[in-house]
Amino acid sequence: MSRIGQAVRPASDVPPQPLLRERWQGHVDGRPVDLFTISNAAGMTVRATNWGAKIMQILVPDRHGRFGDVALGYDSLADAQAGHSSMGAFIGRYANRIAGARFELDGQSYQLSRNEGENHLHGGTHGSRYRVFEAEQPDAATLRLRYRYADGEEGYPGNLDSDVEYHVSDANELAISYSAVTDRATVVNFTSHVFFNLRGEEGGDILDHRLTIHADAITPVNAAMLPTGEIRPVRGTAFDFTLPMNIGARIDEDDTQLVQADGYDVNYVLNRHAGEGLVRAARVIEPQSGRLMEVFTTEPGLQFFSGNKLTGAVPRDRGKNGRLYGRRHGFCLEPQHFPDSPNHPQFPSTVLRPGQRYTGRIVYRFSVDRTATDGTGA
């Protein structure tokens, strides 16, 4: 049984159906939208739309070689537009929250759009989640996306030219590489917001997934989900995933951070040294399927979200094949800079100036853990 009393759904023997490209073709803001498929020789397949650069399907094998869809998503552009705006999206110009929807840079104050009460979330009212990216597919394994954030868009200074690349490697990795340049000092914080369920997107809650996060501290938040500025050690708390732990083991403990978010929704301060490049941030095992996902990143932080806002509501949570995504049916591991960094000078800087290039890389590596058991001895 899972931690919330629901029976764990068995892995399906029915192969997942590919998303239909024609259901994603259309126009948003007068710009063409399409669905793109990238894959490797082993059969790992990723499908993404250039509307919001959203990843809508990830097909990877389990311990028996059966392919499953481990990304929550939608069947069509219309469904995605009625759904969670962040699901599968590439987030910009600034991932996570900015307090009061404002910040100061070089002595000038900037007022951003408010889209979460008085605060600014995930790039604002019309951030990258709602924008059509230019897309090209140079080969069967690669999708390249581009978007220009205009000077003043959502209140941010500077024209920001951004590039995102999705690549499926022969090592069953989804590699996400991104960069940006600006013509005026600004702030930048990108991330990927895929909702994962390694049992399969139809697999129910994710509480039995075993998670390891390579971080000794978090940046705790207040009741508005904004960082207090503190760096708090996780040792001895429900936030300690330095050793493998089921996501559901402590998720309902009487901890203020858990109660106000209805679960996990917090930034981890990754264990890394100055000058390090790509480092392992997290590892997740789903015992029934044996699927293992490792997360690597160049970023200093990792937002862990346990899908607390999925409620099975229609049409918002009506996913692929009409199934409803309920509470904690998916989790997100979002490498990024710390939330509200422009208002916390002690946090790693997110300032980008003309002549500089902002770059980052996220790798989701999929494999199988042969030591995991599904309880059947298989």
* Residue at 126 is within a domain: yes
* Residue at 250 is within a domain: no
Q: Helix or strand or coil: residue 212?
A: strand
Number of domains in the chain: 1
* Residue at 138 is within a domain: yes
Share of the chain above pLDDT 70, in %: 95
* Residue at 230 is within a domain: no
Q: Of 120, 122, 167, 193, which is the active-site residue?
A: 193
- Burial zone of 326 (CB within 10 Å; 0-12 exposed, 13-18 middle, 19+ buried): middle
Q: Is the pLDDT of residue 244 over 80?
A: yes
- Range list of β-strands (E), 8-127: 26-28, 31-33, 35-39, 45-49, 54-61, 67-69, 89-91, 97-98, 102-105, 108-111, 120-121
| Cα gap 281→144, rounded to integer Å | 25
| Cα gap 156→20, rounded to integer Å | 36
Q: Please confirm, yes or no, whether 153 is among the known catalytic residues.
A: no
Could you tell me the pLDDT band of residue 9, with boundaries at 50, 70 and 90?
low
CATH code where residue 284 lies: 2.70.98.10
Q: How many CA atoms lie within 13 A of 233 on its CB side?
A: 2
| Cα gap 369→170, rounded to integer Å | 18
| Cα gap 342→267, rounded to integer Å | 15
- Burial zone of 103 (CB within 10 Å; 0-12 exposed, 13-18 middle, 19+ buried): buried
Q: How far is CA 285 from the centre of its chain?
A: 17
According to DSSP, the residues that pair with 189 across neighbouring strands are: 94
Kindly give, in sequence order, each residue whose CB lies less than 8 Å from that of residue 259, ignoring residues fewer than 6 positions away. Answer: none
Q: How many C-beta atoms lie closer than 10 Å to residue 212's C-beta?
A: 18
Q: Is the pLDDT of residue 274 over 90?
A: no
Could you tell me the pLDDT band of residue 12, with boundaries at 50, 70 and 90?
low
Q: What pLDDT shows up at residue 7? A: 44
Q: Which residue has the tokens 């399969």?
A: 200
Question: Across residues 216-238, what is the average pLDDT?
Answer: 97
* Residue at 283 is within a domain: yes
Contact 103, 187 (CB under 8 A): yes
Measured CA distances, 173 to 11, 141, 321, 364 (Å)? 22, 11, 26, 6
Contact 334, 267 (CB under 8 A): no
Contact 331, 138 (CB under 8 A): no
- Burial zone of 229 (CB within 10 Å; 0-12 exposed, 13-18 middle, 19+ buried): middle
Q: What pLDDT shows up at residue 329? A: 98
Domain encompassing residue 332: 21-208+271-368
Could you tell me the pLDDT band of residue 377, with boundaries at 50, 70 and 90?
very low
* Residue at 175 is within a domain: yes
Measured CA distances, 4 to 240, 250, 313, 319 (Å)? 21, 12, 19, 21
Q: Is the pLDDT of residue 375 over 80?
A: no
H helix or E strand, kind and range, residue 321 = none
According to DSSP, the residues that pair with 233 across neighbouring strands are: 217
Residue 227: DSSP 8-state: B
* Residue at 224 is within a domain: no
Q: What pLDDT shows up at residue 11? A: 54
Q: Whole-model pTM above 0.85?
A: yes
Q: Please confirm, yes or no, whether 209 is among the known catalytic residues.
A: no
Q: What pLDDT shows up at residue 13? A: 66
Q: Which residue has the tokens 């499953």?
A: 68
Question: Across residues 337-355, what is the average pLDDT?
Answer: 98
Question: Across residues 189-217, what is the average pLDDT?
Answer: 98
Joined tokens for residue 276: 């390090």
Q: What pLDDT shows up at residue 10? A: 54
* Residue at 277 is within a domain: yes
Question: Across residues 350-361, what is the average pLDDT?
Answer: 98
Q: Of 153, 202, 286, 334, which is the active-site residue?
A: 334
